[in-house]
Structure 1
Amino acid sequence: MNILVIGPGAIGSLWAIKLQQSGHQVAVFGRHTAPHYQCQLGESIYTFANHQVDDIRHADLILVTVKAWQVASALERLTPQINPDTIIMLMHNGMGSLDTIGALLQTNPVLLATTTHGAFKPAPSQLIHTGQGETLIGAANAQGGRCQFLRDVFDHALPTVHWHPQIEHALWHKLAVNCVINPLTAIRQCPNGTLAHPEYQARITRLIAEVSAVMTAEKIPFQLAQLTAHIYQVIAATSENLSSMHQDVSHRRKTEIDFITGYLIRRAKKHDIAVPENEALYQHIKTLEQSWESLI
């Protein structure tokens, strides 16, 4: 396949390399306009065409791995060049980006994906695959439902990959994890494992209760005990990791709070559900972001 990866950050670069290794023609579209992008994984250096209009026009699949708040702007400027049959796959933290691109892609098959693979870029052209995981793919529209063959394509490149018939359910479960881990670690500037300390237990319990109430209203199937156990399992399994929001706050970058906690709050308002713990975290992160903007 001709595959274009928009946003060759850590996860984007990992998939670009693995898809190229498995025999596909892979190009990237990054922030920088140099005609080529190189990235080292292990002892090997991989080269990709970058920022080429022809790669947009000829793409069978466009994998979008920018942050949720960047999705609309990334696709908006490329839409005139995107073939109406090209498959679009969104892979990022948070939910709600579909709401920002609905008017852009009227005919394209659209898929949503979530992955637990870990990746880190210690330098712009160096990648470390920090942890094995699994990837879930599912349809965001009727046309996307005809693209189940991509499970095999992605599984061959970087296992394990599953097709999820109701991908929104999986995304809500990941959102629950992110609503707990991301803002707390960003505010405290601590690794994920710190949240296992007893001092955080009461607040985490309140956060999970609020998320659970919204998930129930959204008719997302879950069991509270299992959801709670899963969140603590993620905290333990990623104890040394710095969450993406932690890193964004550390570097004074715009975070994905509007598509994580912000999305939860918007859905809660629709159902008239109070989520004060999540709102407090949301306002804390937004205040930090506004303080950086005022210094620019």
Structure 2
Amino acid sequence: MGVRVSEPSGSDPVAIVGPGAVGLALAARLALEGHPVTLCGRSGSATVAEIELTDHQGIRTVAVDWQDDPARVSPFRWVVVGTKLHQRDAAHAWLEGLVDRDTVLVVAQNGVEHRDWVSPHAAGGQVAPALVHFNAERLGRGRVEVRQDGAGLVIGDDAPGRRAHALLERTGLGVQVVADFTTAAWHKLMVNAVANPVTALTSRRVEVFRDPSVRDLAAAMLGEVAAVGRAEGARLPDDAVDDVLAWIDARPSGAGSSMLADRLAGRPMEHDGLLGAVVRKARMHGIAVPLCAAVLALVAALDGADH
């Protein structure tokens, strides 16, 4: 299945799946650049809404269309998925109507399974995985604050990635194009697959990694993740574990994680798309990851008990 897509113009309609922090931020930035944006997700009864964006330029508001019924959408040339990993089932319902053979589908999520889970809707040549590095916080319905330092989005240097770059650079969030997206994705997953579940399990922020026993656990888990990543083709150096621990050490005092925030707020956590992806890939390669599997089981049980 081929894809016939021209470069985006400032007036091209864009569908954004997921009115969470990432979706709201991308929708607001694209709408401010003149793109007619349709935000797809729960909205109550509103069909037109305003997004209030807070960033380095202050507070701005922009109008978008808001659609809350997947049965009422038709295909878009440009579709961006900004849901969290545990919201894939809901996203599938939207993609069924939004995507056809001429769609470029940008999957702006954590993890390493971007193309895998959208494969029922789009061929690989239509899909542009994007790693989200900008920090966004949803302040309420239609309200989002964006904080960033450096490249906010990382995409691969392939055909769909180059198409997506033409759209994503309009967000002003900073787009880095990398030749080796696999390595970039697994390097980020090393952080997310360990820092997120450990902080969520302990209900503590990054200072928990200063405890010697927790640090030893994190280092061992990171070693397991790196082994699976290398089996998947990621070029992770021998000192990758030390690099990730140093990155965690450099976080400001009191910094938490998205999974900890979700637990404290009583929301479902995206453990399956992070640590679960590591365990799934490990089984495919016959690699033992006992610590990652054990922590995954504990976080899953915790998530189930909280809901």
TM over 0.5: yes
CA contact (8 A) 1:84 1:107 kept: no
Report the AA paired with residue 29 of structure 1: C
The reply on whether 1:39 has 2:42 as its aligned counterpart is: no
Paired residues, number:
289
Unaligned runs of 5+ in 1: none
Among 8, 25, 47, the alignment partner of 1:14 is 25
Confirm or deny that 1:237 pairs with 2:254: no
**Of 148, 169, 177, which aligns to 2:183?**
169
Cα distance in 2, alignment partners of residues 192 and 247 from structure 1? 13
Shift of 1:66: 0.6
Matched AA of 1:177: V
Q: What amino acid does structure 2 have at the position aligned with 1:79? A: E
1:241 shift after superposition: 3.2
Task: Give the unaligned 5+ runs of structure 2.
Answer: 1-11
The answer to whether the 8 Å contact 1:97/1:259 transfers is: no
SS of match in other structure, 2:239:
helix
2:6 corresponds to: none
Amino acid at match of 1:41: L
Q: Tell me, what secondary structure is at the counterpart of 1:221? A: coil
Task: Give deviations 1:231-281, integer Å, cap 9, x for gaps.
Answer: 431452354333111122223332211111111111111222221111121
Q: Which residue in the other structure is 2:4 paired with?
A: none
Q: Which residue of 2 aligns with 1:136?
A: 154
Q: Secondary structure at the match of 2:179?
A: coil
1:237–1:145 Cα change, 3 Å: same
* Residue number among 16, 40, 43 corresponding to 1:5 in the alignment: 16
What secondary structure is seen at the aligned counterpart in 2 of 1:237?
coil
Contact 1:3 1:27 survives alignment (8 Å): yes
Q: Deviations over 1:106-163 (max 9, x none)?
A: 4871110002100112322322113334211137xxxx72551432432242242122
Distance apart, 1:192 and its partner CA: 2.9
Q: Partners in 1 of 2:26 and 2:94 — Cα distance?
A: 23
Tell me the equivalent position of 1:50. 66
- When residues 72 and 22 of structure 1 are mapped into structure 2, their CA distance, relative to the original with a 3 A threshold, is same
1:70 aligns with 2:70: no
**In the alignment, which residue of structure 1 is the partner of 2:9?**
none
C-alpha distance after superposition, 1:72-113 (max 9, x if no partner): 432334413533201111111223353333223348711100
Equivalent-residue separation in structure 1 for 2:245 and 2:104 (angstroms)? 32
1:177-192 to structure 2, matched below 5 A, reads: 177-192=191-206
SS of residue matched to 1:57: coil
Q: Which residue of 2 aligns with 1:110?
A: 127
Q: Does 1:61 align with 2:75?
A: no
How far off its partner does 1:165 sit? Answer: 3.3
Distance change (3 Å), C-alpha of 1:191 and 1:273: same
Structure 1 residues 103, 78: closer, same or farther in 2, change over 3 A? closer
Counterpart of 1:289 in 2: which secondary structure? helix
Matched, 1:222 2:232: no
The letter for the 2-side match of 1:32 is S
SS of the aligned residue for 1:111 comes to: strand
Task: Give me the TM-score of the superposition, normalised by structure 2.
Answer: 0.84
User: What is the TM-score normalised by the length of structure 1?
Assistant: 0.87
Deviation of 1:61 after TM superposition, in Å, equals 0.8
Deviation of 1:202 (Å): 1.0
Please report the RMSD computed on the Cα atoms of aligned residues, expressed in angstroms: 2.6
Contact 2:47–2:65, Cα closer than 8 Å, also in 1: yes
Q: What whole-Å deviation, never above 9, does each CA across 1:43-81 have from its counterpart, x for those lacking one?
A: 222221100779943622111011123234323344135
